[in-house]
Amino acid sequence: MAFTGASPLFKYIRPPVCRRRTRRFIRTRATPLRGSTLPVHPDWNCLALHETSDKQTFLDELRCRNIIADVLPSYDQLNTRLPTFIDSEDPVGIYCGFDPTSRSLHIGNLLPLVTLLRFHMRGLRGIVVIGQSTSLVGDPSGKTIERNYISIQQSVQNTLSIMSNISQIEKNLRDMSLISSDRPSLLILNNNDWHKNITAVQFMTDCFRFLRVGDFLCRDLIKQRLETTGLNLAEFCYTAFQSYDFYHLFKRHCCKIQIGGNDQMPNIMSGRRLIGERSNNDDVFAVTTPLLLASNQKKISKSEDAAIWLNSSETSPFQLYQYLFRLSDIDAENYLKSFSFRPLLEIEDIIVKHKVNPDVRLAQISLAGEVTEYLHGKEGLISALTTTKLLYHTNNPTEILGDLSRDDIYKQFSGIPLLNRSVTDNLTVLELVNSLNCYPNASKCMELINAGGCKLNGRVVKDCALSIKDSDHIILNNDTTLLQLGKRKIFIILWDY
């Protein structure tokens, strides 16, 4: 029997509850990346942002960027070994894994990915593992209930989509000259390529017998789940699958460092243990990044409302740009250090200028422009800027929108809902607004219009009974209309006759 993920049997078996008091295997706290709440380690005396210091190492720079939450076995040990890894004739690998439980990664995954890319640019061999097999097992990290099961077919589709997305991000970075042409490409792997060839008995022999159940049972997450909603055996064994990935990469690709969000530290530690037990080698490291938190102080994930995805088919370049542009000042400054590839001194200069005149939002503009370009390419950035200009920086949107063909509109304004509507003799402004189902009933729509909350092509319209067809400014020459309701609801109406 090949191990292509977790057998359905494992999902219905519950591990026993650990009642005894035992020394914890690992104790970590998820450190957030959220404005002023980001803690600074007391031993990390980062001298402002001065990366030109003779004593500052590459790892020190990452620490100054608020990228590193924890390092095991220790920060100093990795700081000492890293130059040797980088200068090694045989490339030393560093990997980060993502389970394809959706078609796209989201903004919460960006920090580990960017961190991996920084190490790759510096000289290590960057490896991305898309966990098709582990996505079928289900990672319980950060979950209070069992994850929704995805089918094998869906996991395959999601894996291909994410692999393509990461390849495109790397290409965009090369186009921006942020990755030098002499650096090899990222190694993007699917862990099903090795899990599918392992039998259940072989996996237990090669992996399970080197890991300790007591270590699993005494983790806070496992204990909480066992005492509340329960935990199936597949979730309980998830750590073993991820541990085997680290061991496999260590043997095949000389991978000695794993990167993950801070909630992944227990899983990475088990991988280090497996490598140490099987290979008698403890020269491997874990690097974790802070968790990215939403405004409600919860971990940003795909389950959040209005999640920001890295794939343009899920979140358009315009939507990403606006998300970053609307960050608070403290978040924008913090995100600049973490997500921007600019030198730290340049970032410091941007922050100083931003504080002189915060209304200009220089930090937000710098962050949004750079991140949008390396995620969606130059064309994606141009599209985001064009849409932003149309909606927020012109008194007469018809100058831009009215001259575009339908094809250009679909291409440039994919981030705005494009709605087809038929022109009828009696269609009024109230009927148009009500047809969008943005408000509970026609009375609420009427209140909005009467209060001046409805704009057609940039003009405030307060006449609910105004005829769409008979007005000379509502339907543009290319049979389109820009409709704005309130501050955030924006639509482009494509009229059919």
As a whole number of angstroms, the distance between CA 384 and CA 321 comes to 6
- What three-state secondary structure class fits 223? helix
Question: What's the pTM value of the predicted model, to 2 decimals?
Answer: 0.79
DSSP for residue 185: P
CA atoms within 13 A on the CB side of 26: 22
Answer whether 234's CB lies under 8 Å from 138's CB. yes
* 68 alpha-carbon distance from chain centroid: 17
Q: Quick one: tokens of 69?
A: 């939450």
Instruction: Categorise residue 19: left if φ over 0, alpha if ψ from -120 to 50, beta otherwise.
Output: alpha
Give the CA dihedral 445, 451, 457, 459, nearest 10 degrees. 160
**Range list of H helices, 65-199:** 75-87, 107-122, 132-137, 152-175, 192-195
For the beta carbon of residue 342, count every other beta carbon within 10 angstroms. Answer: 17
Tokens 């894994």 -> residue: 97
Q: Can you tell me the distance from the alpha carbon of 487 to that of 59, in angstroms, rounded to the nearest whole number?
A: 43
Q: For each of the chain's 497 residues, which pLDDT tens digit applies?
A: 455 544 444 444 445 444 444 333 333 334 455 443 333 343 334 444 444 445 679 999 999 999 999 999 999 999 999 999 999 989 999 999 999 999 999 998 999 999 999 999 999 999 999 999 888 887 666 555 566 778 899 999 999 999 999 999 999 999 999 999 999 999 999 999 998 988 888 777 777 777 766 666 667 666 676 667 666 667 777 788 888 899 999 999 999 999 999 888 888 888 888 898 888 888 999 999 998 865 556 666 555 556 899 998 888 898 899 999 999 999 999 999 999 999 999 999 999 999 999 999 999 999 999 999 999 999 999 888 988 887 777 767 777 788 888 888 877 776 688 899 998 888 999 999 999 988 999 999 999 999 999 999 888 999 999 999 888 889 998 899 999 998 778 899 999 88
Rg (CA), the chain: 26
Q: Tell me how long the chain is.
A: 497
* Burial class, 144, CB count within 10 angstroms (exposed 0-12 / middle 13-18 / buried 19+): exposed
3-state secondary structure of 286: strand
